Copies of this chain bind each other. A is one copy, B any other.
Amino acid sequence: MARPREFDEAKVLASARQLFASNGYHGTSIDDLVQATGLLRGSLYKAFGSKRNLFEKILAEIADDFKATPESLDLLTVALKDLAAVDKPIRLLCLKIVGKNSKTYANLLGANLLAKMKENK
């Protein structure tokens, strides 16, 4: 009962996720997101409200059924390092992912962090 969306939300979220995962939260600008997703700023804001909200949505999505892929581990690292200290909802999503497996996740997160170092020789 209104104009339909022209973009595929899942694809937009996938592009944004990749950017946040590899460049961090503060290292990813709205312009970066505009470029990567193809959406214009206005549409991005109408659809997701804010950069912070977009990030939370992405994190919530992967928290819902977490798989320890490099990208997801990167995103969890970004959430923990760039936002968790000052953003309770983000912190809670991190807790939801990790649960009682903090030993396991410590290993996964650390190994994933170090892996980046070696890729570029």
Contact = CB atoms under 8 A, between A and B. Distances in A.
Q: What's the number of copies of this chain in the assembled complex?
A: 2
A62 interface: no
Interface string A36-56: 000000000000000000000
B106 A113 contact: yes
Interface in A44-98: 77-78, 80-82, 84-85, 88, 91, 94-95, 98
Nearest to A88: B120
A76 to B, nearest CB: 9
Contact of A82 (B27, B91, B106): B27
Interface string A4-30: 000000000000000000101011000
Given A94-B117, A107-B107, 18 more contacts: A22-B85, A26-B26, A27-B82, A80-B113, A80-B114, A80-B117, A81-B81, A84-B116, A84-B117, A85-B120, A88-B120, A91-B120, A98-B114, A98-B117, A106-B110, A106-B113, A106-B114, A113-B113
6 contacts: A80-B113, A81-B116, A85-B120, A98-B114, A106-B110, A110-B111
